[in-house]
Amino acid sequence: MGASLPPKEANLFKLIVKSYETKQYKKGLKAADAILKKFPDHGETLSMKGLTLNCMDRKSEAYELVRLGLKNDVKSHVCWHVYGLLYRSDREYREAIKCYRNALRIDPDNIEILRDLSLLQAQMRDLTGFVETRQQLLTLKPNHRMNWIGFAVANHLCSNVAKAVEILEAYEGTLEDDYPPDNERCEHGEMLLYKSEIEDQPVAHGGIGIHRVFNSLLFRHIIHVREKYGLFKEELFLLQGIKSVVLISLLEECGFLERALEELHKKEPKIVDKLTSKEQEVSLLVKLGRLEEGANHYKALLAMNPDDYRYYEGLQKCFGLYSENGKYSSDEIDRLDALYKLLAEQFTWSSAVKRIPLDFLQGDKFCAAAANYIKPLLTKGVPSLFSDLSPLYDQPGKADILEQLILELEHSISGDGRYPDRTEKEPPSTLLWILFFLAQHYDRRGQYDIALSKIDEAVQHTPTVIDLYSVKSRILKHAGDLVAAASLADEARCMDLADRYINSESVNRMLQADQVALAEKIAVLFTKDGDQHNNLHDMQCMWYELASGESYFRQGDLGRALKKFLAVEKHYADITEDQFDFHSYCFRKMTLRAYVDMLRFQDRLHSHAYFHKAAAGAIRCYLKLYDSPLNSPAEVEDNTSKATQKKKMKKQRKAERAKKEAEEKNEGSSASGTSKSGRRHIKPVDPDPYGEKLLKTDDPLSEATKYLKLLQKNSPDSLETHLLSFEVNMRKQKILLAFQAVKQLLRLDADNPDSHCCLIKFFHKVSSMPTPVSDAEKLVWSVLEAERPSISQLQEKTLSEANKIFLGNHEDSLMHRAAVAEMLYTLDPTKKLEAVKIIEDSSNKVVPTNGALGSVMEWKLKDCIAVHKLLDNVLIDTDAALRWKVRCAEYFPYSIYFEGSRSSAVNNSLNNLDTETPLNGGANGPDIIQSGNAFTSNGKLEAFKNLKI
Amino acid sequence: MGAGREVAISLDGVRDKNVMQLKKLNTALFPVRYNDKYYADALASGEFTKLAYYSDICVGSIACRLEKKEGGAIRVYIMTLGVLAPYRGLGIGTRLLNHVLDLCSKQNILEIYLHVQTNNEDAINFYKKFGFEITETIKNYYTNIDPPDCFVLTKFTTPSQAKK
């Protein structure tokens, strides 16, 4: 490095490198300038200066200098290395890899560059390349532990497990006489554990033999270590125990059950984690078919913890009384019942032993068991009781039984304060919890008016229980009155300002009611002072960003909606990015098992539900943007926005100044060596807070495609992914890709109304296209010709016929009828009236129930709203839409959308709230004072009327 | 009542984070809407204002104001004391009042007083049990409830008693 320079300058050059490594950038800059004074064209110095400037946030200068340096000295590996580092700092890993490769062409044995390259290869999952680089590193420096490990891990990641084990063993061989120094003992142990973990895979290569070798090696090692370094006895014990557990679970994984069990018994006294060893033992016994022993072991485990559902499940398996879907024959039910009765006698304190039978018991027995289970919990006051029981509502009939049961209890308690057939009086709160349960019960069944009357009764009984307001808010949300739901949630929040959960819930409800500004204000109450909104972003508060993005989308503010969705997408990109630091860190610290886990987690990161939602939201925004592009830019940017622009500029300038100041400070502190990470804590001001720039994209569809690809790769089994793919590709005229989406939809759910629509739309569109002219078009055509007969829905049928058959198959479903109607209209716009008729002829059936109160309707509010939008916007029949609205307002009296008679859209004051309680808990309302002079305590009149002393 | 079943009753202070609980109680218990000064006084009185919890449910409260008399001595004015209807008769009111009385004796506060509507015999009897006595009658104290008159109930303690 710096070889072409005279000695004085060569020393200066070394100083630049050193200053860069120690983050003393100013010093480095000075040295660089000193060299450049004499040798203004020296390439390596120019490059290093650029790299230094890059760390001082002078990006454009940096790139300029580095490129200039490279131009002046294209044969220098330093210049290429620097160029690679520059790209790496900007996360342009592919470019960086290219640069490193160029550098290595010049200096193939440069350890540093090889190491940097290997990190990037791991990050980009260029696994073959990773193995090669690691092999090279090992060949160059075989005396470094890290290189052995690195090569082994690389092979492991490449699924070359046998090789990985071989490497580790070879390495261990070199250690026989020379045990790791004291300070590396821990790392070494980690390596052994790691090895044992990957060893489970080479079954075909005589895995057991390797285990044996490994085993003896490990013990020899442990004894050595102990002798040499006086390792504490307990520590040794622990190490052996952990090792045994890992080894045994590996044996179990590769199916060597007998051996695993043997090993377990042999090592039992050494294993410290007794519970794990017992659990492992029983799992082995069951796998070996030694069920009787297994059952006894499970009983022993239950004696330790009688509320672990897994033990019960295991015990059932041992008795051959377990089915995945929870369905049992009546004989099996009897046997299960007997089993649990026996267990209940033994484990009187267990709640699981009482709860589980509710899943399989039926009829009268279920009723009795439920009563037995529920009553004490109502007495005790367990707010989560309904969530506990709510899975039972999926089983036919059980909801009715529960309803009867609880209503009986309510009747009895409100009569004489006792449960039926009991002499003991219940505490006053029992009635409250019964009402609370009933409200949730009716909510679940869609009987919102009864649910509300029950919850109001409960509030009247005890107005101080926060859960009541939360549940009422949820009922109103389900019933379609989002505004009232938001204000109820806020009322709950006001009752305990220190509770983050109800704060978040209230924010969420406000966002659902599109009160974004208010929601932001409330959310900020729990963020750090000062930097408020950004804080939610920095904390990666994704539910908030998703909910507000969706709200903006509903309000038509595509810019801000996109902004929020992309923010979530960015979090995921950041998480991917975050792994970079671990490639080197984990090798150094030898946390190999965690490292491999982390890499596998990262590989499926984007299949997470929040990412899916964000990507789908962003794609929808782009589709909408494509369908109705912004008006001419001049119109959008009228005077008002100019004013805001000015403000923005001002803000930006201010921020830049602050940034500079902070930078100087940072420089100072890093020079003194306090800032190790070298990370900057200055927040750049968002130059585009309303997403206006995002909206100005020239090609929204290609933006959408970016996210679509991620969805297709990571959520291939979601209907939504392919619906979006269909929409995007139809607009892009990518016929074959759209066809692929249709095929995926049919694969996932051919009966879904949306799948049907896509199918019909697709072939309708194809049939209306001009006859193919170019070769490419002809090719597409021939593919479709060949594929169409394979689609069973369309075999020898016209689209109209297929549509009709679909209607015939799903005549009773509203959403299917709506889909058929839409397609009818799409295929032949003259049939609009017929289409409207198909929708209006749908009937909202009453779901059969023997419930004592009211009736349950089949239609869902969400679906009815969708149908209304279809009538209004697609079929464009305002009369029909109005008729539909009136009809639905009757079904959903609380719905704001349909302006139902009991929704807050109609009643200005929220008739659902206590008349005495002002909106939002009265936090802002002025209190009314009755008498000016004194505070009356005449309330005692009430308070003590029933006081019995 | 509730024979054999001991439900824990506990007291908790009022802070700005949970003052809404007190408001909810007052709305349910009293036909009067209290103003901000009431809540400011209650918060300022510290330990003299308490919420009562029946297991984990907030069911009653006592709210006091500390008043400075001429000469510097402090007296306690009980602004409100109430328990939600379903939870009466469980000793919760007694528990709340005793808490304040104990505090007074500990802090050497010699005078506690309150207002009560003249026809509220239950309340009057309740307080008499704790040593309160009618010390004054104020005509037309209340503006729109009948009867509009109230008694002032006061409990005096002698210093020697207080320092036991």
Q: What is the pLDDT of residue A270?
A: 62
Of B35, B79, B120, the CB nearest to A929: B35
Task: Give the residue numbers spanning the domain of A20.
Answer: 1-92
Is the distance from CB of A845 to CB of A858 less than 8 angstroms? yes
Domain count, chain A: 1
Residues contacting A791, CB < 8 A, separation 6+: A743, A746, A759
Q: A369-384 in b/e burial notation, b at 16+ Cβ within 10 A?
A: bbbebbbebbbebbbe
For residue A200, the Cα-to-chain-centroid distance in whole angstroms is 31
What does the pLDDT read at residue A788?
Answer: 84
Q: Which of B20, B81, B145 sits opposite A943 (nearest CB)?
A: B81
Among A207-221, A451-465, A500-514, A878-892, the range scoring the smallest mean pLDDT is A207-221
Query: Among A157-171, A535-549, A852-866, A907-921, which stretch is predicted with the lowest mean pLDDT?
Result: A907-921
What pLDDT, on a 0 to 100 scale, did the predictor assign at position A325? 84
For residue A236, what pLDDT band results from cuts at 50, 70 and 90? very low
Best mutation target among B122, B125, B132, B152 (most A Cβ atoms within 10 Å) is B122
What chain B residue is nearest to A431 in terms of C-alpha separation?
B86
Question: Which of B18, B22, B24, B58 is best to mutate for the A interface (most A CBs within 10 A)?
Answer: B24
The pLDDT value recorded for residue A356 is: 94
Which of B32, B86, B90 is closest, CB to CB, to A936? B32
The domains found in chain B, sorted by start residue, are: 9-162 (3.40.630.30)
Residue A189: exposure state from Cβ atoms within 10 A (0-12, 13-18, ≥19): buried
- The count of residues in chain A is 949
Asked if residue A839 is part of any domain, the answer here is no
Mutate to test the interface with A, among B1, B120, B151 (most CBs of A within 10 A): B120
Q: Taking a C-beta distance cutoff of 8 angstroms, is the pair B87, A943 a contact?
A: no
- With CB atoms and an 8 Å threshold, state whether B2 touches A431: no
A751 close contact with B: CB closer than 8 A: no
Residue A890 pLDDT exceeds 60: yes
Query: Is 70 exceeded by the pLDDT of residue A255?
Result: no
Helix (H) or strand (E) segment spanning residue A43 = helix A43-55
- Give the Cα separation of A757 and A822 in Å (integer): 8
pLDDT in tens, A492-511: 999 999 999 999 999 999 99
Say which amino acid occupies A102.
N
What per-residue confidence (pLDDT) applies to A930? 35
Q: How far is CA A50 from the centre of its chain?
A: 40
Helix (H) or strand (E) holding B115: strand B111-117
User: Which pLDDT score is estimated for A668?
Assistant: 43
Torsion of CA A810, A815, A821, A822, to 10 degrees: -130
Interchain contact B139–A (C-beta under 8 A): no
Give me the torsion for CA of A363, A364, A367, A369, rounded to 10°. -110
A938 chain-B contacts, CB cut-off 8 A: 30-32, 115-117, 120, 142, 145, 150
Q: Is any Cβ of chain B less than 8 angstroms from the Cβ of A946?
A: yes
Residue A741 lies in a domain: no
* Residue at A65 is within a domain: yes
Catalytic: B115? yes
DSSP state of B62: E
The tens digit of pLDDT for each residue in A2-42 reads 557 888 888 889 899 899 988 889 998 899 998 888 888 88
CA distance A403 to A367: 10
Which positions 649-688 of A are in contact with B (Cβ < 8 Å)? Answer: none
The CATH number covering residue A79 comes to 1.25.40.10
Choice between A181 and A576, residue whose per-residue pLDDT is larger: A576
Taking CA–CA distances from A937, the nearest residue in chain B reads: B80
What helix, strand, coil percent values describe chain B, rounded to 5? 35, 30, 35
Predicted pLDDT at A203 = 37
Does the CB of B56 have a partner CB in chain A at under 8 Å?
yes
Q: Are strands B57-68 and B74-83 parallel, antiparallel or unpaired?
A: antiparallel
- Note the pLDDT of residue A196: 55
> Would A619 be classed as within a structural domain?
no
User: For the whole model, what pTM was predicted?
Assistant: 0.77
- Minimal CA separation from B161 to chain A, in Å: 25
Q: What is the pLDDT of residues A712-731, one digit of tens each?
A: 999 999 999 999 999 999 99
**Using an 8 Å Cβ cutoff, are A287 and A278 in contact?**
no
What does each C-alpha distance from A47 to A13, A285, A491 come to in angstroms?
11, 66, 62
**pLDDT at residue B33, rounded to an integer:** 83
Query: How confident is the model at residue A739, as a pLDDT?
Result: 93
Please name every residue paired with B113 in a beta bridge, in sequence order, or none if there are none.
Answer: B77, B154
Chain A, 697-726: which have a CB under 8 Å from a chain B CB?
none
Residue A60 lies in a domain: yes
Instruction: Point out which residues pair with B138 in neighbouring strands.
Output: B150
The pLDDT value recorded for residue A946 is 38
Cα–Cα dist A378/B29, whole Å? 25
Is the pLDDT assigned to residue A903 strictly greater than 90? no
- Calculate the alpha carbon distances from B15 to A459, A533, B47 in Å: 23, 27, 11
Would you say residue A852 has pLDDT above 50? no
Beta-strand relationship, A856-857 and B9-13? unpaired
Q: CA–CA separation, B97 vs B120, rounded Å? A: 17
Q: Which of B112, B84, B154 is nearest to A943 (CA)?
A: B84
Strand, coil or helix: A307: coil
**What is the 3 state secondary structure string of A66-88?**
HHHHHHHCCCCHHHHHHHHHHHH
Strands B150-156, B57-68: pairing is unpaired
Answer yes or no: do B30 and A425 touch at CB < 8 A.
Answer: no
Percent share of chain A, pLDDT over 70: 77
**Angle, nearest 10°, between helix axes A111-124 and A580-589?**
120
The single residue of B34, B99, B113, B115 carrying the catalytic annotation is: B115
How far out from the chain centre does Cα A480 lie? 27
d(CA A202, CA A164): 10
A850 belongs to a structural domain:
no
**Of B75, B48, B41, whose CA–CA distance to B62 is shortest?**
B48
A154-162 long-range contacts, CB within 8 A, separation 24+: A154/A118, A154/A122, A154/A127, A154/A130, A155/A131, A156/A198, A156/A596, A157/A122, A157/A127, A157/A130, A157/A596, A157/A599, A158/A127, A158/A128, A158/A130, A158/A131, A160/A131, A161/A198, A161/A199, A161/A201, A161/A202, A162/A201, A162/A202, A162/A205
In degrees rounded to 5, what are phi and psi of residue A235?
Answer: -60, -45
Instruction: Say whether pLDDT at A650 is over 90.
Output: no
Alpha carbons A199 and A214: distance in angstroms, whole number: 9
Mean pLDDT (chain A) is: 80
Determine the number of helices (DSSP H) and then strands (DSSP E) in chain B.
Answer: 5, 7
Q: Are A898 and A480 within 8 A, CB to CB?
A: yes
CA A209 to CA A716: how far, in whole Å?
41
412-431 in chain A: CB under 8 A from chain B: 424-429, 431
Cβ atoms of A61 and A32 within 8 Å: the answer is no
- Between the alpha carbon of residue A700 and those of residues A56, A553, A692, A708, A735, the distances in Å are 35, 16, 13, 12, 18
Q: In Å, how far are A675, A759, A826, A929 from A829, measured between CA atoms?
A: 69, 18, 6, 66
B99 counts as catalytic: no
If you write DSSP's letter for every residue of A668-681 in order, what string do you get? HHHHTT--SS----
Q: By the 8 A CB rule, do B76 and B109 touch?
A: yes
Least confident of A577-581, A802-806, A850-854, B34-38: A850-854
| pLDDT score at A943 | 39
Closest-CA residue to A857 (of A448, A481, A473, A454): A448
User: What is the model's pLDDT at position A173?
Assistant: 66
For A830, residues 6+ apart whose C-beta sits below 8 A from its C-beta are none
Residue A766 has pLDDT above 90, yes or no: no
| The pLDDT value given to residue A151 | 87
Residue A265 lies in a domain: no
B154 touches chain A (CB under 8 A): no
Split at pLDDT 50, 70, 90, the class of A249 is low
Quick check: A931 and B142 CB within 8 A? yes
Mean pLDDT score, A257-266: 71
pLDDT of A746 above 60? yes
A672 or A125, greater pLDDT? A125
Average of pLDDT values for A870-874?
91
CA distances, B96 to each of A514, A546, A776, B10, B102 (Å) = 44, 47, 87, 10, 10
Query: In the structure, what pLDDT confidence band is assigned to residue A792 with cuts at 50, 70 and 90?
Result: confident
Question: A941 CA to chain B: closest CA distance, Å?
Answer: 5
Containing B58, the helix (H) or strand (E) segment is: strand B57-68
pLDDT at A192: 59
pLDDT of residue A685: 66
Which of the 8 DSSP states describes residue A5? Answer: S
> What percent of chain A shows pLDDT beyond 90?
41
Mean pLDDT within A898-917: 62
What DSSP string describes A202-221? -GGGTHHHHHHHHHHHHHHH
Of residues A172 and A6, more confidently modeled: A6
Determine which of A434, A490, A496, A937 to mutate to test the interface with B (most B C-beta atoms within 10 Å): A937
A319-333, A414-428, A662-676, A815-829: segment of lowest average pLDDT: A662-676
d(CA A68, CA A81): 14
CB atoms A496 and B24 under 8 Å: no
At A199, which amino acid appears?
A: E
Tell which wins on pLDDT, A201 or A167.
Answer: A167
A406 near A434, Cβ under 8 Å? yes
With a cut of 80, say whether residue A166 has pLDDT above it: no
- Per residue in A664-711, pLDDT (tens digit) is 444 444 444 333 344 444 555 677 777 788 888 888 999 999 999 999
Task: Band the pLDDT of A925: cuts 50, 70, 90.
Answer: very low
In this structure, what token pair is assigned to residue A276?
């794990």
pLDDT one-digit tens code per residue, B85-105: 999 999 999 999 999 999 999
From the list A923, A930, A944, which residue is nearest B32 (CB)?
A930
Residue A209 in this model has a pLDDT that exceeds 70: no
Tokens 């679970």 sit on residue? A249
Across the range A589-615, mean pLDDT stands at 86
CA distance A605 to A365: 46
The answer to whether A439 touches A461, Cβ cutoff 8 Å, is no
The string of pLDDT tens digits covering residues A335-370 is 999 999 999 999 988 999 999 999 999 999 999 999
**Cross-strand pairs, A358:** none
pLDDT at A281: 84
- Is A721 among the domain residues? no
| Residue predicted with more confidence, A381 or A193 | A381
